[in-house]
Structure 1
Amino acid sequence: MQLTQRVFLVLLLMVYLAPAQAEHGEPPVNMVEISDTLTTSGQPQAAYFDALAEQGFELIVNLAPPESHGSLENEGGLVGERGMTYVNIPVNWDAPAEEHFEFFRKVMAESRPMNTLVHCQVGFRASTFTFLFRVIEEGVEPDEALESVHAAWVPNETWTEFANRFLSEHGIGYQLDIE
C-alpha cells in the first residue's frame, strides 16, 4: 500500500472515530472501574451520560452538593431522561457526616447488583464512601478496596479520620495511614 493511501486511511479512521468521542465527551476524571457493576469517578460532562446509559449503567449516585464547582444544574433530569436512576447525597467536603454515609450504605445495599456509578466533583468522596461500603457491607479486604481509592487519591486527614472512625465502629481492625 502506498504512503498516500495509508495516510488517507489513517485520516479516514480519525474522522470516523472522532465524532463518537465528541458526541459523548471525555470520560470523567479519576474514573475507576471497581467491578462489572461498580465504578467511581469525578463529575461526568452532560454528554457523557449518553455513554453511561449505552454502557448499561442503571444508577448514578452523586455525592457532591448541587452548588459544587463544576456540577450540572439538572443532573437528575439528564440521568432520568436516559432511563437511569439518580440519587444525590450532598456530602460536605470539609465535614463528611455519618448520616450521609449511612444513607449511602442504604442506597447501595438496596440497589446491588445494579450497574452503578458513584461520583462527586473529582472522585475523592466517591472513592472513600465506596471503599467503606465495600469493606463494611461486602466484606472486601481493606487493602484490596483501598487500591481503588489510591487510583484516585490518597485521603487527607479529614477523610482518613472519617474512614477510620467507621472502620473502628464496625469492628474492622484496619486503619488508613494519615498522609
Structure 2
Amino acid sequence: MPDPDDIRAWQRLDALTTTSGRIEDKDVMRLADLGVAHVVNLALETHPEALAGEGEKLAAQGIAYTHIPVPFDAPGEDHFTAFVDAVEQGPKPVHVHCIMNWRVSAFFYRYNRDRRGLPESEARQLMERQWSPEGHDSNEARIWAEFIATRPA
C-alpha cells in the first residue's frame, strides 16, 4: 500500500518511521494496512482536532499506542526523553503524530541530530519540510527554537 497523501503533513522518514499531523477515524485502518505497529501521539487530547478515543481505536486494530502530551507552549526534556524511549523501545514500524506535525518534526530534528548522528543540515532539512520555529515572531516560536537548540549533556 502506498503512503497516503491526504493525511495532514504526512512524511516518511525511513522504512520504519512515518510522521504526520492529526489523524482521523478513517486513518486508523489505513495505518494498520500500512503495517504500523505503534503510534506515538505528542498532541494534547483536549485539542479540538484530537481524535477522541485514539488509543482504544488503535488497540482495536492491534496497534500499540503511546501518548506523550506536549503542551505547545512548554516542550520539556521529560517529553523528549519519553519520546526517545517510545521510538526506540516500542514496536516497529512506528508512526508519530501531533496536530500539525510541528512538535513531531522538532522532536525528530533533535533525535536525528543527537541520537542518529545525522548532520545538522540534514536533520534541519527534514524538520523544515514541516516547519521551523526560526523566523516566527511569537513566544511559542522562541520556546521551540530554544528546545531544538538543546544538546545532550
- Which one of the candidate residues 47, 50, 60 is aligned to 2:29? 50
Q: What is the CA deviation profile of residues 80-102 of structure 1, one whole-angstrom value per residue up to 9, with x for unaligned ones?
A: 11111110000010011111111
- Which one of the candidate residues 137, 146, 149 is aligned to 1:161? 146
Whole-angstrom distance in 2 between the partners of 1:72 and 1:45: 6
Q: In the alignment, is the contact (CA less than 8 A) between 1:32 and 1:148 conserved in 2?
A: no
State the secondary structure of the residue aligned to 2:65: strand
- Which one of the candidate residues 5, 10, 13 is aligned to 1:34? 13
Matches within 5 A, 1:40-119: 40-111=19-90, 114-119=92-97
> Whose helix fraction is larger, Structure 1's or Structure 2's?
1
Q: CA deviation at 1:126?
A: 0.8
Aligned residues: 143
Instruction: State the match for 1:11 in structure 2.
Output: none
Q: In the alignment, is the contact (CA less than 8 A) between 1:76 and 1:86 conserved in 2?
A: yes
| Structure 2: tracts of 5 or more residues without a match | 134-140
Largest Rg, 1 or 2: 1
Q: Please provide the CA RMSD for this pair.
A: 1.6
Q: In the alignment, is the contact (CA less than 8 A) between 1:26 and 1:48 conserved in 2?
A: no
Q: What is the CA deviation profile of residues 101-157 of structure 1, one whole-angstrom value per residue up to 9, with x for unaligned ones?
A: 111111112137x11111001100011111211222111222112222111111232
Instruction: State the match for 2:130 in structure 1.
Output: 152
Instruction: Verify: 1:136 aligned to 2:114, yes or no.
Output: yes
Identity level (%): 28
Larger RCO of the pair (alpha carbons < 8 Å, separation 6+): 2
Whole-angstrom distance in 2 between the partners of 1:115 and 1:27: 20
Q: CA deviation at 1:28?
A: 2.1
Under a length normalisation based on structure 2, what TM-score does the superposition of the two structures give? 0.87
Q: CA deviation at 1:27?
A: 2.9
**Structure 2 counterpart of 1:159, one-letter code:** W
| Structure 1: tracts of 5 or more residues without a match | 1-24, 171-179
**Structure 2 counterpart of 1:158, one-letter code:** I
Under a length normalisation based on structure 1, what TM-score does the superposition of the two structures give? 0.75
State the secondary structure of the residue aligned to 2:39: strand
